[in-house]
Structure 1
Amino acid sequence: MTKQARWTWIVASFAMTGAGLVLAFLLSVATNPALYERHYVWLFWVNVAVATALLIVITIAGVRLLVRVSRGKFGSKLLLKLAAILALVGVVPGVLIYTVSYQFVSRTIESWFDERVEGALESGLKLGRGTLDALVSDLATKTRLAAERLGEAGGSEPLALERIREQLSAQDVAILGAAGQTLLTTGSTTADTWMPERPSPTLLRQVRNARVVSQLEGLDEDAAATGVAARVRAIASIPSTTFALGDQERYLVVTQAIAPALAANALAVQSAYRDYQQRALARSGLRKMYIGTLTLALVLAVFGALLLSVALSNQIVRPLLLLAEGVRQVARGDLSSKAVFASRDELGGLTRSFAEMTAQLSEARDLVERSVSQLEGARANLQTILDNLTAGVIVFDRDGRIDTVNPGATRIMQLPLSAYVGKRLDEIAGLGDFAQAVWQRFEMHAASPEAGERDHWQEAFELQTSTLDGRERASITLLVRGADMPQGARLMVFDDISELVSAQRVEAWSEVARRLAHEIKNPLTPIQLSAERLQMKIAPKLEGTEKAMLERSVTTIVNQVQAMKTLVNEFRDYARLPATQFEAVDLNALVHEVLGLYGSQQEAGRLHADLDAGLPPIVGDTTQLRQVIHNLVQNALDAVADRPDGRVTVRTEAPRSDSGTVRLVRLHVVDNGTGFADKVLKRAFEPYVTTKSKGTGLGLAVVKKIADEHGARVRITNLHAPATGGDAGGEPRVSGAQVSLSFSKLAPASASGAVATVSAAAAPATARIP
């Protein structure tokens, strides 16, 4: 049982007990109106306090129930209906009994004050008073006559008094002096103990004036309570027959007892008449008091019925409320353990079944959450893999729109592909032809896949990328793989194989160079010797213009053969570099040595050196590194040859970590020329790729091969300056180029002579023009 239910039962029990006590009290005082009247005020305020408290409790309970109904809480209407039915069952009989009791009390009180009853009480009172008055008057007359006889006799002997007592059938007879003192007494009471009560001076004056005075004693409630017997006492003045100056007045006191039955009847009639008059005066208040108490009993009974109805309704509705609360919690996603109604009926079984169902749902949800967590983990792992793949990945939905793009695709395409999610690939500027070729390949694979392409297809595409404003960029070669996915989606994975193709070209050129060097170099020397021998043999025999023409022809042959030899030597050097001899190399000293060959350029301010003084030695071949520096410096000077403000800077640096450790040594050759075209950047290290009008284009190719031999990273970048003037708001303009070599193989501090070759890779570095 809940705390609320226990409290309801306690209050209801209190109310029913109070109603029983009130009814018992009414029954106990119904036969004792005096007790009822004495506690009228106390009972009235108790009734008011109890009725007020009950009204407050009933009002609170009713308001709470109405609030539940107004808020639409589940079960509140059913609770209200059950409470109303049970309350009706208790209230209607109570109201019926109250109506009957009200009429009964009203008519009964009215019957108490009937005019005939009042007349009978008044007649009985008058009859009693007349009888007593007759006794008093008769005793007064007899006492006066006895006093006169006693005065005429002139004596006051005890015998005379005893005779008077017997004649008057008196209880006591006494003679009093002028001051009321007792002179002589006789009576049925013992003479030694009985003394007549001394009359007051006022009473004695009345006796002197009226000669006799009589009165009733012991006929009031106080005398009856003290046990004093009812009696009639008469006092008469005894006349004096002499005229002596010393005579004093004397009084005869006669006391006659009243029959106890008469006295009791007289007191009863008197008390009944007085009570009747009092109740007649308080008839309206008495009626209100009885009806108010009856109303209190009704209120207590009704209150108890209401509380019991609420308690019983709660007991019936509570399982439904538990189910309602459980359903709301489940609707909010709370699948914790649910309360069960402790009963063996069908409602209790329903709550137990709901609790078991909720527990099963909780287990199922936990299983789903674990599965979702695993799925999210797998998705996160997949996303991490996609984000870190060097290959580009694009997923298309069934309508051909971009659904997923990884950073690799953005890097390869050099376009913000993630901004085009939800659009088709052909809607991206510059990718229309590529998209059409890819979709044709998808359709071809779906219609008639080739052998070995049952699950996916693979093909290389040459893509000419462009900027968002339509400017053409370098051409890249993509190796694209496509596959169909569930629900009509399609997957495209592609790699930039431009460097691989470039390496293949380099390898092809190396083979061509090797063959050319072998096939061409051998005939060149005989050709040159033959031409010179012809000149030596024929020249002396010719004169004039013929001799001059012979000399010009031989000179041309010799010069062209020499050029061919130079070209063949360059091809030979590119195809087969000499064996590398690694040793500790001071890169700063090597730069100083090479720049010494360009003294005029340094004096003209076109060539500068910015060298890191704390540069550690690297592992390398001095001859090959000298050739690298020479090639890079010469190319940079050629790039700024047409610029009056041309400037070339050779910089070395050794980046240090937070702990001061040096892991790389970098060489930068920077110029402020026109930079490299976008098309050239991708193929700058291939033979015969050059921006010069003269030259073979083998310089950077040789630099790349030597860098690879040294395990160094070489990077070519264009330098940009902020747009100014008319270019404001556009893209930054090219303000030069930079070639960077990063050496990761450092010589030990105690190194001397040759050291072992160590294969390592270093991250590219860039520098800005100082």
Structure 2
Amino acid sequence: MSDKGIRPAASARKAASRARAMRWALGLGAGVMSAIGLVLLFLLTQATNNRALYERNFAWLLGVNVLVALVLLAVLVWGAVRLAVRLKRGRFGSHLLIKLAGIFGLVGVIPGLLIYVVSYQFVSRSIESWFDVKVEGALSAGVSLARVTLDTIASDLATKTRSASTQLAQVPDAAAGLVLERMRDQLGATDLVLWNAAGQPVAGVGKSRYSLNPERPSVQQFRMARQERISFQIEGLDDISDPMAAENARVRTLVLVANPGVGLLAEPRYVQATLPLPQALVANAIAVQEANREYQERALARVGLRRMYIGTLTLSLFLAVFGAVLLAVVLGNQLARPLLVLADGVREVAAGNLGPKAALQGKDELGGLTRSFALMTQQLADARSAVEQSMGELDAARGNLQTILDNLTAGVIVLDRQGVIRSSNPGATRILRAPLAAYEGKPLVEVPGLADFAATVQRHFDTFALERDHHGLDHWQHPFELHASGGGLAAQGTSLVVRGAELPNDERLLVFDDISEIVSAQRAQAWGEVARRLAHEIKNPLTPIQLSAERLERKLAGKLPDAEQAVLTKSVKTIVDQVDAMKRLVNEFRDYARLPAAELHPLDLNALITDVLHLYDPETAQVPVRAELDERCPLIRGDAQQLRQVVHNLLQNAQDATQQAAEQQGSAPAAVRIGTRWNDAAQRVRLTISDCGPGFPPHILQRAFEPYVTTKPRGTGLGLAVVKKIADEHGARIDLVNRVEGDVVVGAQVSLSFAPETAVAL
């Protein structure tokens, strides 16, 4: 599977994971909020029946109320923000979600608000109805009645105790125990204690009998009993919340024992009695007092109670709204999710992404639609993959064809029927020496220097179109000699063989090869054969001719008159001189035909040139030679003897041309320049020899390296031919151009380009 398919699948899985996590988070949050809401509602219902429970949980209930309210508000705000962001981004289904949220929100909020208003009024008025003036007065009267009743009973019990205490008036302390026992039975007391004036217990019955230190009355109680003869107090009603308060309620009386004796030394005694109160009466009094206390507490806390009830109701409203909105979002997502999946898939398909699409597994029609869309997308992806594979193979074939065309030595041009260039390869640019790529879309006839070539090609195509069906031809072929203006051999004559054919798309194919080297080689081979035959056929009769003329001169010497003798001598000299000239010509032809194969060895070209220049001493040479050697030049592979001959031939030609120009201009000859240069870009060593002569005429420049082509009156034209042959043996490229300044030819330049020794070794 391609990266384009993997990325959408991973995105779909991540989106599904995020959706599941979101659903789990929403479900968990809804469960927690529902549980908290139910707990709060339970506490609300229990608050009216169990005030103590409500009071004990007041603090944390308030905090939970506030926290839940804030959480619900945050969730609602978060949901609203998400919907707003979706709507702003223009995501599909945003309007539907907003409508659903609004509908469910209204369904949940409007009834909730109605219930809230009714409940608010009910709670407010119900709490106020609890606290009425009549109820408060009745509770206060009941509390007062209970207190008066208890005080009356306690006073009556104290009076009875005082009446019974007369029995102890004449009883000494030692016999007081029996009397106290009898009094206990009479009064129904639970405990009796006789105290002396010092506050020490004298005798006791009941619970105090077994206590070493009975509970002693206070000093105030003793003082009141001494003054009032009687003192009482009700005990056990201090903590009415104690369930045993009714059973522990009692009256404790303290009365002064009457003493009939008269004397200063008689000490007063006190009887303390503990009498129980009626339990029913005490329980009723406690209930009235508890009701009054609770009523007062609630009256004081009714504002806070109303706020708590209203807060709980408000929380219930928030919970209802949250549930409605959450239900809207959940149901809206369930309805809109298949549509969103389809919308995302359609957008991705429109954008060209045919990767795996998400499909819902639901059993409804929308889920089936998403599965059908995913299947359709997969089929489209498979079809596109097949097309891409075919296109890839086609592009590969096209790339291979383009590579082949780019590396062909032959030139290829595709033209339409009007001769407009559609495409070309680098071989065509190299052979025609014209920027064909820059002229694509333009007629071939507009390319500089190719007007005649374009016209000839068009003429042959027209002829081919007329004769193709009649003769059954599939192509035409024609040689062509391409001439161009310029000052160099490289820009002068090019021999081409041109082939043309018709393409199926109504275009024309033009293929041509540069056969200049082949023609030059054929000419060189022909001249070599001519030179060999001339050397063989002419050299043999030259020696007898020369010997016969010399013998004839010796035989007739002194036998002829002076006039005839002079004619003879002149004629013999002419014959001998011409024979020597013929011998030299034959030798040069022989040397050209028998030029030995080069023996290539590592060679320092700069050192070779320096050695040759010793023969061109500036003091004796008529034309000076100036050397400009590049020290960066590496070694080349060459034959020192043959390259020495090349340098000699080129220097002599340059000196002759410079001397000729100087004689015509009547000035001193300029220096001939010889130099070397290392070209980093081309990785070649270039040898250049420049003169200041008249240059080469165009018709000579095109065939300068052919034998017997020369501009010298007495030259044989073999010098440059030998140089060309030696350059070919060394794999060197040779160029011959006229040096031009403005429109004036100021000399000629010959350049040889050698590969370095390391490149040749590789």
Task: Give the TM-score, by structure 1 length.
Answer: 0.72
Matching residue's letter, 2:42: A
Residue pairs, 1:385-404, within 5 angstroms: 385-396=404-415, 400-404=419-423
Q: How many angstroms apart in 1 are the aligned matches of 2:753 and 2:99?
A: 92
1:179–1:268 CA distance, 2 compared to 1 (3 A): farther
How far is 1:433 from its partner?
3.8
Matching residue's letter, 2:197: A
Matching residue's letter, 2:703: R
SS in 2 for 1:466: coil
1:717 aligns with 2:735: yes
Cα deviation, 1:189-210, whole Å, max 9, x if unaligned, reads 6895699853211012122233
1:557–1:454 CA distance, 2 compared to 1 (3 A): farther
| Residues 539 and 586 in structure 2, CA contact (< 8 A), matched pair in contact too | no
Q: What residue is the counterpart of 2:140 in the other structure?
A: 122
How far is 1:277 from its partner?
0.8
1:84–1:719 CA distance, 2 compared to 1 (3 A): same
How far is 1:273 from its partner?
0.7
Q: How many angstroms apart in 2 are the aligned matches of 1:307 and 1:667?
A: 87
**22, 27, 39: which is aligned to 1:9?**
27
1:684 aligns with 2:704: yes
Which has the larger displacement, 177-186 or 503-512?
Answer: 503-512
Cα deviation, 1:537-573, whole Å, max 9, x if unaligned, reads 9xx99999xx89x969x97999699969978996999
| Residues 86 and 305 in structure 1, CA contact (< 8 A), matched pair in contact too | yes
SS in 1 for 2:492: strand
Q: What residue is the counterpart of 1:46 in the other structure?
A: 64
| Residues 489 and 735 in structure 2, CA contact (< 8 A), matched pair in contact too | no
SS in 2 for 1:479: strand
Matching residue's letter, 1:135: I
Matching residue's letter, 2:363: R
| Residues 623 and 659 in structure 2, CA contact (< 8 A), matched pair in contact too | no
Q: How many angstroms apart in 1 are the aligned matches of 2:624 and 2:536?
A: 39
Matching residue's letter, 1:283: R
Q: What residue is the counterpart of 1:250 in the other structure?
A: 269
**25, 44, 54: which is aligned to 1:26?**
44
| Residues 602 and 608 in structure 1, CA contact (< 8 A), matched pair in contact too | no
Cα deviation, 1:597-642, whole Å, max 9, x if unaligned, reads x9999953769999x9x9999799x9xx999999777655543442
Q: What residue is the counterpart of 2:291 in the other structure?
A: 272
Q: How many angstroms apart in 2 are the aligned matches of 1:316 and 1:9?
A: 18
Residue pairs, 1:300-311, within 5 angstroms: 300-311=319-330
Q: How many angstroms apart in 2 are the aligned matches of 1:316 and 1:166?
A: 91
Say what the alpha-carbon RMSD is for the aligned residues. 5.8
SS in 1 for 2:244: helix
Q: How many angstroms apart in 2 are the aligned matches of 1:49 and 1:91?
A: 21
How much identity, in percent, do the aligned residues show?
A: 46
Q: What residue is the counterpart of 1:748 in the other structure?
A: none
1:415 aligns with 2:434: yes
Q: What residue is the counterpart of 2:11 in the other structure?
A: none
Matching residue's letter, 1:247: A
Which has the larger displacement, 574-583 or 711-720?
Answer: 574-583
Q: What is the count of residue pairs matched by the alignment?
A: 705
Q: What residue is the counterpart of 1:203 in the other structure?
A: 221
1:342 aligns with 2:361: yes
Q: How many angstroms apart in 2 are the aligned matches of 1:484 and 1:154?
A: 166
Residue pairs, 1:604-683, within 5 angstroms: 604=621, 635=653, 638-642=656-660, 643=662, 645=669, 670=689, 672-674=691-693, 675-683=695-703
Q: How many angstroms apart in 2 are the aligned matches of 1:180 and 1:80?
A: 90
How far is 1:245 from its partner?
1.1
Q: How many angstroms apart in 2 are the aligned matches of 1:743 and 1:126?
A: 135
Which has the larger displacement, 678-687 or 162-171?
Answer: 162-171
SS in 1 for 2:476: strand
Q: Which structure shows the higher helix fraction?
A: 2
1:435–1:585 CA distance, 2 compared to 1 (3 A): closer
Q: What residue is the counterpart of 2:496 in the other structure?
A: 478
Q: How many angstroms apart in 2 are the aligned matches of 1:168 and 1:696?
A: 179
1:640–1:426 CA distance, 2 compared to 1 (3 A): same
Matching residue's letter, 2:496: L
Matching residue's letter, 2:709: V
1:338–1:734 CA distance, 2 compared to 1 (3 A): farther
SS in 1 for 2:38: helix
Q: How many angstroms apart in 1 are the aligned matches of 2:273 and 2:618?
A: 175
Which has the larger displacement, 276-285 or 332-341?
Answer: 332-341
1:176–1:284 CA distance, 2 compared to 1 (3 A): same
1:61–1:275 CA distance, 2 compared to 1 (3 A): same
SS in 2 for 1:344: coil
1:292–1:689 CA distance, 2 compared to 1 (3 A): same
Q: How many angstroms apart in 1 are the aligned matches of 2:184 and 2:199?
A: 20
| Residues 673 and 737 in structure 1, CA contact (< 8 A), matched pair in contact too | no
| Residues 632 and 669 in structure 1, CA contact (< 8 A), matched pair in contact too | no
| Residues 625 and 673 in structure 2, CA contact (< 8 A), matched pair in contact too | yes
Q: What residue is the counterpart of 2:127 in the other structure?
A: 109
Q: How many angstroms apart in 1 are the aligned matches of 2:423 and 2:521?
A: 32
Q: How many angstroms apart in 2 are the aligned matches of 1:732 and 1:237?
A: 165
Cα deviation, 1:275-300, whole Å, max 9, x if unaligned, reads 10111011101111222233334434
SS in 1 for 2:304: helix
Q: How many angstroms apart in 1 are the aligned matches of 2:238 and 2:596?
A: 155
Q: How many angstroms apart in 2 are the aligned matches of 1:254 and 1:707?
A: 159
Q: What residue is the counterpart of 2:233 in the other structure?
A: 215
1:575–1:371 CA distance, 2 compared to 1 (3 A): farther
Cα deviation, 1:309-366, whole Å, max 9, x if unaligned, reads 4344444444444445545555565544444333333333333333333433433343
| Residues 421 and 440 in structure 2, CA contact (< 8 A), matched pair in contact too | yes
**496, 506, 512: which is aligned to 1:494?**
512
Q: How many angstroms apart in 1 are the aligned matches of 2:388 and 2:219?
A: 116
**59, 62, 67: which is aligned to 2:77?**
59
Q: How many angstroms apart in 2 are the aligned matches of 1:714 and 1:43?
A: 104
| Residues 618 and 743 in structure 1, CA contact (< 8 A), matched pair in contact too | no
SS in 2 for 1:221: coil
Q: How many angstroms apart in 1 are the aligned matches of 2:136 and 2:475?
A: 126
| Residues 473 and 678 in structure 1, CA contact (< 8 A), matched pair in contact too | no
Q: What residue is the counterpart of 1:753 in the other structure?
A: none
Q: What residue is the counterpart of 1:369 in the other structure?
A: 388
| Residues 147 and 239 in structure 1, CA contact (< 8 A), matched pair in contact too | no
SS in 2 for 1:268: helix
How far is 1:522 from its partner?
13
**392, 398, 406: which is aligned to 2:425?**
406
1:293 aligns with 2:312: yes
| Residues 177 and 250 in structure 1, CA contact (< 8 A), matched pair in contact too | yes
Q: What residue is the counterpart of 1:384 in the other structure?
A: 403
1:734–1:365 CA distance, 2 compared to 1 (3 A): farther
Which has the larger displacement, 491-500 or 516-525?
Answer: 516-525
1:697–1:442 CA distance, 2 compared to 1 (3 A): same
| Residues 574 and 702 in structure 1, CA contact (< 8 A), matched pair in contact too | no
Matching residue's letter, 2:32: F
Matching residue's letter, 2:278: A
Matching residue's letter, 1:120: A
SS in 1 for 2:484: strand
Q: How many angstroms apart in 2 are the aligned matches of 1:645 and 1:246?
A: 179
Which has the larger displacement, 322-331 or 159-168?
Answer: 159-168
1:441–1:700 CA distance, 2 compared to 1 (3 A): same
Q: How many angstroms apart in 2 are the aligned matches of 1:15 and 1:582?
A: 104
1:386–1:734 CA distance, 2 compared to 1 (3 A): farther
Q: Which 5+ residue runs of structure 2 have no aligned equivalent? A: 1-16, 628-632, 663-667, 679-683
| Residues 392 and 406 in structure 1, CA contact (< 8 A), matched pair in contact too | yes
| Residues 667 and 742 in structure 1, CA contact (< 8 A), matched pair in contact too | yes
